[in-house]
Amino acid sequence: MFAPDDTIVAVATPPGRGGLGVVRLSGPEAQTLATRLLDHREPLRARHATVSRIVDASTPAGNAIDQVVATSFPGPGSYTGDDVVEISAHGSPVLLERIVALACAGGARLAEPGEFTFRAYLNGRLDLVQAEAVADLVDAVTPLQARVAFDQLEGTVTQAIGAIDTDLFDLIARLEASLDFPNEGYHFVEPGTVAQGIGLLRDRVIGLLAGSTRGRLIREGCHVVILGKPNVGKSSVFNALIGSSRAIVTAVAGTTRDLVSDVIDLDGVAVTLVDSAGIRVTNDAVEAEGVARARQALAVASSVVVVLDRSAGLEEEDRSVLEATAGTSRVVALNKIDVASPSAWPREALDLPPETSVVEVSARTGQGLDMLRSAVRAGLVGEEVYRDTPTVGNQRHIGLLERASGALADAQRVTQDGATEEFVLADLQRARTAFEELTGARTPDDVVNHIFERFCIGK
């Protein structure tokens, strides 16, 4: 897809003005081109910041256009694995474009999105899982997303998969050996040991998949919808959680009709919080549309906050909201606890399973809101994600691990059925192919293209 022998150039910092802007060059001519752009005649010292000036050789006087700091990273120890030069100039888009244009006039080509990282992948500096982590890290909107992406870049997922693949390879080698010497009765491995070995490998794959629901939630974020009968304080809870008065709050029942949403960072989890009209039976055509939208929001939500009015009696409408949300992960917020009420009821009146979180809050005074935030977060991702445990959250990785797990299950089954090595080996090879597709050792070109399309220019 990209010509790997060209010298490529791009602005690596975001579009717009800034204190600094970085132009990156990578490829065999990077050094030569850089020295031609700079009024610095000797080759740049490797990994040293060199203060210099950019000169425009096309002007008769060879005018200097900016003072810069240039750093040379000779391959193969650079980010891309090729020779790289990074030029930090002042962060003016006009200036940076000019430097890029001068580099192109000297023979460089404009880099495609993701092409620097693609080269790192081609040169074996990163595997595909790590290259994807680079995009995740750049795209991260919460510190937790950034941390999980950085762990992946450092190789936690790569190492976990590599370790499983190494043991799988060992098993395959022993089976192939016993296949090669059938007449000698030379058994390199007993069928019982094979079945057990496959079972252990599969457990490790399943172990990686076990954290993937949480991994996906962290990586992609999720929707949490607020439901409850009219006037219980859904919009007030929504506003309190997002920290601004986005949704209209009135004492009139049936105020909210449209879905109102905003993204909040729940201690690292990017949650799109959705306020709704709630779920109820109504003859009002506008409200009915609002209820239909609330149901749609419920269908895609990872979790629900059911708001009940603690200061009023429990009603049939409250019970039907609890029923409608019984199948979804949820937190029950008992709102308006600031109101001293004679009709307050005990938690047992709700008849909820013991594991359901029930939190007392007041959207008006802010009491209990931190508890509500923690309860919602715990319902989504459980306990804290520990550093260095591989977190799998990318759908491509999940799909391939499932494929590997299925192939290992087949291998286990045919082994137990007493099939010959050929059959077992065919299934084990399918598992290996899945691992190789994951790391990029053997990944179809269209998949690789698709992965790098996500990147921004200069990355």
Ligand X SMILES: Nc1nc2c(ncn2[C@@H]2O[C@H](COP(=O)(O)OP(=O)(O)OP(=O)(O)O)[C@@H](O)[C@H]2O)c(=O)[nH]1
The binding site for ligand X (CB under 6 A) comprises 228, 230-236, 249-251, 253-256, 278, 335-336, 338-339, 362-364
Q: Which residue lies nearer to ligand X by CB, 286 or 339?
A: 339
Q: Which residue lies nearer to ligand X by CB, 141 or 253?
A: 253
Q: Which residue lies nearer to Mg ion by CB, 132 or 318?
A: 318
φ, ψ of residue 92 in degrees (nearest 5): -105, 125
Retrieve residue 164's tokens.
């499983």
Q: Does 235 bind Mg ion (CB under 5 A)?
A: yes
How many Å apart are CA 439 and CA 180, to the nearest integer? 30
Contact of residue 335 among ligand X, Mg ion, none (CB under 5-8 Å per partner type): ligand X
Residues whose CB falls within 8 Å of the CB of residue 324, separated by 6 or more in sequence, listed in order: 227, 279, 298
Nearest-approach distance from CB 340 to ligand X, in angstroms: 10
Q: Which residue lies nearer to ligand X by CB, 232 or 297?
A: 232
Residues whose CB falls within 8 Å of the CB of residue 19, separated by 6 or more in sequence, listed in order: 90, 91
Nearest-approach distance from CB 277 to ligand X, in angstroms: 6
| Stretch of 77-85, 190-198, 205-213, 233-241 lying at the interface with Mg ion (CB under 5 A) | 233-241
Q: How many residues bind Mg ion (CB under 5 A)?
A: 4
| Stretch of 62-70, 74-82, 255-263, 306-314 lying at the interface with Mg ion (CB under 5 A) | 255-263
How many Å apart are CA 286 and CA 283, to the nearest integer? 9
Nearest-approach distance from CB 353 to ligand X, in angstroms: 24
Q: Which residue lies nearer to ligand X by CB, 279 or 407?
A: 279
φ, ψ of residue 130 in degrees (nearest 5): -70, -35
Q: Are 267 and 144 in contact (CB under 8 A)?
A: yes
**DSSP string spanning 170-215?**
HHHHHHHHHHH-TTTT--SS-HHHHHHHHHHHHHHHHHHHHTHHHH
Binding mask 293-332 for Mg ion (x = CB under 5 A): ----------------------------------------
Q: Which residue lies nearer to Mg ion by CB, 255 or 328?
A: 255
φ, ψ of residue 260 in degrees (nearest 5): -120, 130
Contact of residue 7 among Mg ion, ligand X, none (CB under 5-8 Å per partner type): none
Q: Which residue lies nearer to ligand X by CB, 13 or 276?
A: 276
Q: Which residue lies nearer to ligand X by CB, 4 or 254?
A: 254
- β 8-11/269-275 pair status: unpaired
Contact of residue 338 among Mg ion, ligand X, none (CB under 5-8 Å per partner type): ligand X
Nearest-approach distance from CB 266 to ligand X, in angstroms: 20
Retrieve residue 294's tokens.
């609330």
Q: Are 201 and 430 in contact (CB under 8 A)?
A: no
Contact of residue 231 among Mg ion, ligand X, none (CB under 5-8 Å per partner type): ligand X
SS (H, E, C) 205-262: HHHHHHCHHHHHHHHHCEEEEEECCCCCCHHHHHHHHHCCCCCCCCCCCCCCCCCEEE
| Stretch of 248-256, 303-311, 318-326, 379-387 lying at the interface with Mg ion (CB under 5 A) | 248-256
Contact of residue 278 among Mg ion, ligand X, none (CB under 5-8 Å per partner type): ligand X
Q: Does 256 bind Mg ion (CB under 5 A)?
A: yes
**DSSP string spanning 152-166?**
HHHTHHHHHHHHHHH
Which H helix or E strand runs over 284? none
Residue whose token pair is 């591989």: 390
Residues whose CB falls within 8 Å of the CB of residue 200, separated by 6 or more in sequence, listed in order: 167
Q: Which residue lies nearer to ligand X by CB, 167 or 338?
A: 338
Nearest-approach distance from CB 274 to Mg ion, in angstroms: 12
Question: Order of strands, edge to edge, in the sheet holding 269-275?
Answer: 260-266, 269-275, 222-227, 303-309, 330-335, 357-360
Q: Does 130 bind Mg ion (CB under 5 A)?
A: no
Contact of residue 72 among ligand X, Mg ion, none (CB under 5-8 Å per partner type): none
Nearest-approach distance from CB 231 to ligand X, in angstroms: 5
Residues at the interface with Mg ion (CB under 5 A): 234-235, 255-256
